[in-house]
Chain A
């Protein structure tokens, strides 16, 4: 496997409705920011990987065909992945695979969702009605977690407040709730017990782009003073929807994916060796669930890291310093945003939400009913552990 690194990151400003741009305009906004960040042009890109969630969200089938011009893909390989909500992460992983295989040198990963073009709730039910929506699907998992762990109810509120406060430091974030507080979260309407309105992700228009380069490209960026985010490991795992014995609160696919990516990265003590993580948390209670399913906390103890402020921006293990999916959720892009934010942290380019001393970061996205997992570990050097 050949080394590779993130050398450019770009994202759009995210809003409920980006009526000022077409789908092509939206992806170009992210792509040009990523290319500028990498100090490259479209001519330097060998292949493009596009990810997004169901095409029914925008009502355009295989939109990468139409977007090939906007993406600068004409005459190049253009690849389209779709692995449900994890797709943004998978987009980064498949783009990295293009380079790790030795077949391509500089690859552009792009993910987008323009949810205002359609109705996400309607599309989640394939337009056939009777859709539980994402919140309705996940609420039983969250209730099960609370029941098992005995976590107090303010944990969910606390995650929501933290991520919204982090979003205030991120110029690209969608939700900016200046007066967010435990009281306002607690007093917001109950949507799907135990999920309150302010513990839920928004529906966003947005895109994210990441430039991944081979070792030469990464070294060139480093020589020019732009720290590359070396990709130390990538992994994906899937498990079926439903069968006796499956545990969606502590999914085997998540545990195995984390163990795989840690092994690749040389991580033996994730809680100590990982400086920050961007985890896919569309509903507040998923933060403690994922802390446990990534071995960042012992089983049943994830909520304590929320309670004792460990996961705050200034804590020992900041989670979702960007504001996370709770603040910005263009579904197909949300995973790549996690991967991109983790890269920016180790590149020292996260701006106001930079985690001090972030040298190793974990990013994760998941999809369907806690079934699809994609992760990568990035670091500011190829051998951060000596």
Chain B
């Protein structure tokens, strides 16, 4: 069987309750969310040909943490399975490649993380260059603030427009009141910063004919690409995101307009920068889910963006963009474009 390049589709997804702290283990979260994703499709774990999980040992605070998550996928009899130390959006990329090989039909991908178990300010410096940057001990807020200054300096954002992003994401607040608050890291205030969230996302993919039998309106993946920039934020333009631009071009963003976009923007200025780089106009609904500013389950945040974009297609939408990112100051970026067919 040879598949056309756009004949793989998202056919369903589910997410756990997104909470500040859960008492569930990652495996327990995944047991529930995988069931929640499969059941409405009339599928069971036995129908799944391939699984790819995304999670991070450092978030879990344990080496080989993902091994325990095997209990959630129902790997008996044993399963074709893989794991990425990346957001679930990249697990989706691996599954998408795997389905293109044409010998299997159904894949489940997940992203999961419990950020509540540690202090991000202690964890994230360890993802920096261990020789040059990690010893600085700078936390993610510090690097984000550096980028926010660059974005403001370039005229892409200002503190008022950033506050407006926060209000739209969370559905609460008044700009003047918010701007009167103290900085956490200048120019970032509390409202510019993501919450700490525990949660998991599971998504079901199927190849064309199977997808069409299972759901009325599959969300076809029409373009998918990811790119990285260089690591050191001091060596790249922080008021730009070249890797996002390349990924969007390669995913075919320019081929037709999108009417819906979900961007993994944990900080308010990131949404404004990404909108600018992707040239998304006011006619595009951006982060109507509330985005990462409302809930930010690290390692699942990006996959949730794809889920909301799929929801848009399931609901009759034509073309939607989902974005995910990793690394300091948007180092690595992924763009997935979903489309519906009439």
Contact = CB atoms under 8 A, between A and B. Distances in A.
The answer on A and B forming one complex is: yes
A23 B132 CA distance: 13
Contact of A237 (B79, B123, B332): B79
A240 B127 contact: no
Nearest to A128: B62
Given A60-B134, A65-B327, A81-B84, A243 B228 contact: no
Contacts of B62: 126
A84 B131 contact: no
B143 interface: no
Contacts of A82: 57, 66, 83-85
B67 A84 contact: yes
Nearest to A117: B130
Contacts of B73: 238
Interface stretch (A71-79, A202-210, A271-279, A282-290): A71-79
Interface in A59-75: 59-63, 65-69, 73-75
A37 interface: no
B107 interface: no
B76 A74 contact: no
Interface string B122-145: 011011111101100000000000
B57 A55 contact: yes
B100 A77 contact: no
A200 B225 CA distance: 42
Given A23-B130, A79-B90, A69 B230 contact: yes
Contacts of A123: 63
B127 A79 contact: no
A371 B81 CA distance: 11
Given A75-B246, A80-B84, A256 B77 contact: yes
B229 interface: yes
Given A62-B327, A80-B86, A253 B225 contact: no
A181 interface: no
A58 B126 CA distance: 10
Contacts of B301: none
A75 B246 CA distance: 8
Contact of B70 (A125, A235, A241): A241
A81 B130 contact: no
Contacts, number: 178
A1 B230 contact: no
A60 B230 contact: no
Contacts of B77: 239, 252, 256
B71 A68 contact: no
Interface stretch (A90-98, A293-301, A344-352): A90-98
Contacts of A65: 127, 228, 231, 326-328, 331-332
Interface string B78-115: 11111111100010011011101111000000000000
Interface in B277-328: 326-328
A103 interface: yes
A61 B131 contact: no
Contacts of B58: 55-56, 61-62
Interface in A230-271: 235-241, 243, 251-253, 256-257
A240 B70 contact: yes
A366 B230 CA distance: 32
Contacts of A63: 130
B169 interface: no
Contacts of A235: 80
Interface in A8-57: 22-23, 54-57
B147 to A, nearest CB: 15
A238 B79 contact: yes
Contact of A66 (B90, B98, B231, B243): B231
Contacts of A125: 63
Contacts of B225: 77
A101 B331 CA distance: 26
Contact of A56 (B57, B97, B123): B57
Given A94-B82, A101-B100, A240 B126 contact: no
B130 A69 contact: no
B66 A68 contact: no
Interface of B: 5, 56-58, 61-64, 66-68, 70-71, 73, 75-86, 90, 93-94, 96-98, 100-103, 123-124, 126-131, 133-134, 225-232, 242-243, 246, 326-328, 331-332
9 contacts: A59-B126, A62-B58, A62-B327, A65-B328, A94-B97, A237-B79, A243-B76, A251-B78, A371-B70
Given A100-B100, A256-B78, 17 more contacts: A1-B102, A55-B58, A62-B58, A66-B127, A66-B128, A66-B129, A66-B231, A73-B228, A81-B85, A82-B66, A84-B64, A94-B97, A97-B101, A236-B80, A237-B80, A239-B75, A256-B77
